[in-house]
Structure 1
């Protein structure tokens, strides 16, 4: 009988303790759920505000805006999780210390990746090149296809796909062939001693003026680049649109070659043409 009474008392005591614990932790659970709901909504709202605000800033790439908005979202969620753990009596200071240690370890393990991310952010902010532009660095050249946070995609002149880590593009000088509206091109010809320098200059300028894709401002110019006792090097300098540089420069080189072939044929007598044309090198 006494054992039964002791069992009943122990059971009642355990139930009362469980009830007290349930009441105590029920408020903690309800508070944690409310914190999670409010924190999740706040994270999404702040992330959206940051994304919209950064998207309206001139020069901020969409990828960069999304990256910073995601950082804000995850930072808010981490704070919310730490607050939820504090609801259940977990020492948040130790949690924060553990997160810091984990972050340090991950940072040391991913030094190269983080370096690419930092370089990607700088490339997206400063914009030394954009999609569609043709660039060249010490080891990389091609047309930009996409600029990401980790790497940049390019298409080479041969039609080959190339992926370059952002750190390799940020730490070296970059030549952007498409950024400026116009580019200069030069064609040099070597005249023999019996060829007229004035006539050669007039021929080069007339070829440049006849090509409608050559810019009139600044006007095409010629200058004597070099000479010796037996020859002279004459150079034509003109400007063309960057998007048309390759096509126009090839067409102009061909036009100069044909024009000077014709000049040589007219100057050489018919009975002396078997000896070959006079010396010139377009």
Structure 2
């Protein structure tokens, strides 16, 4: 090895020993502070009911990486490096990466918004676009759903966030509306009273709001008699099926007809 090269290194170290010590101290202390603040941010966010564990971890990592960047720039400045150009270069790189990963970053941004705004949480049933399913997992890139027929669906977060979301389980109660067609010769009052009797006999039907029975429509072949009742969200589907079955059976017992579609044809004599 060339002795002059070794000598120049030793001389440089002697001339810059204080900057080296200072840079090393800044590096060690900065990394320790970044680690402590990152863990503190994660614990603080995790304690808040507004933040899911996934978003708490994501934001704490963002804090850590931002502090790492500050430490790196500070260390380089200890050696007289022009940090303005480095910051500009890093900004350009970030812009290029952002453009290249535009779709991915859109999913991440949407995932963050879903986790913060919480239009749905794991375990709730939602209807969005062409999917009606139960939420299984919410990630930063995708959300995993399980349809009621058991099929697994993975949806990019940007597609969920940009669509109207109907949360089927967010509120504790739901309204059921049942429409039953009866013949024009049958008694509308009797049909209304029969449906109200079915509602009163089922303990799953809430008393408040009070059940309502009404004439919903005058159709070509029948008169639509409507029943509106409120129930607990968990009872909605089964109660809908039971009331529909009970309405048909009770109408049959009382002689109230549910007519088939009919059409009258009048033929003029030749």
Q: What TM-score comes out, normalization by structure 1 length? A: 0.83
- The CA distance in 1 between the partners of 2:20 and 2:215, in whole Å, is 88
The number of residue pairs the alignment matches comes to: 259
1:187-266 to structure 2, matched below 5 A, reads 187-227=178-218, 231-264=222-255
Q: Where does the alignment leave 5 or more consecutive residues of structure 1 unmatched?
A: 1-9, 268-277
In structure 2, the CA distance between the partners of 1:230 and 1:18, relative to structure 1 (3 Å rule), is: closer
The alignment's C-alpha RMSD in Å is 2.4
- In structure 2, the residue corresponding to 1:172 is in which secondary structure? coil
Residues 140 and 164 in structure 1, CA contact (< 8 A), matched pair in contact too: no
Which of 157, 167, 172 does residue 158 from structure 2 map onto?
167
Q: Which residue of 2 aligns with 1:102?
A: 93
Return the index of the structure with the highest Cα Rg. 1
- The CA distance in 2 between the partners of 1:187 and 1:216, in whole Å, is 17
Residues 137 and 144 in structure 2, CA contact (< 8 A), matched pair in contact too: yes
Q: Which residue of 2 aligns with 1:184?
A: 175
Q: Which residue of 1 aligns with 2:15?
A: 24
Residue 35 of structure 2 is aligned to residue 44 of structure 1: yes
Residues 193 and 229 in structure 1, CA contact (< 8 A), matched pair in contact too: no
- The CA distance in 1 between the partners of 2:184 and 2:10, in whole Å, is 113
In structure 2, the CA distance between the partners of 1:28 and 1:199, relative to structure 1 (3 Å rule), is: same
In structure 2, the CA distance between the partners of 1:223 and 1:20, relative to structure 1 (3 Å rule), is: same
Q: CA deviation at 1:17?
A: 4.3
- In structure 1, the residue corresponding to 2:149 is in which secondary structure? coil
Q: CA deviation at 1:46?
A: 1.1
Q: CA deviation at 1:42?
A: 0.5
Q: Which residue of 1 aligns with 2:123?
A: 132
Residues 19 and 79 in structure 2, CA contact (< 8 A), matched pair in contact too: yes
- The CA distance in 1 between the partners of 2:65 and 2:110, in whole Å, is 22
Q: Where does the alignment leave 5 or more consecutive residues of structure 2 unmatched?
A: 261-270
- The CA distance in 2 between the partners of 1:237 and 1:174, in whole Å, is 24
Moved more, 154-163 or 80-89: 80-89
Residue 53 of structure 2 is aligned to residue 62 of structure 1: yes
Residue 44 of structure 2 is aligned to residue 53 of structure 1: yes
Q: Which residue of 1 aligns with 2:108?
A: 117
More helix by share: 1
1:50-107: CA deviations, max 9, x gaps? 2233233342222222211110101111121222233344332222122111101001
- The CA distance in 2 between the partners of 1:171 and 1:15, in whole Å, is 63
1:228-267: CA deviations, max 9, x gaps? 6864221111111112211111111111111112223xx8
In structure 2, the CA distance between the partners of 1:16 and 1:192, relative to structure 1 (3 Å rule), is: closer
Moved more, 150-159 or 222-231: 222-231
Residues 219 and 238 in structure 1, CA contact (< 8 A), matched pair in contact too: yes
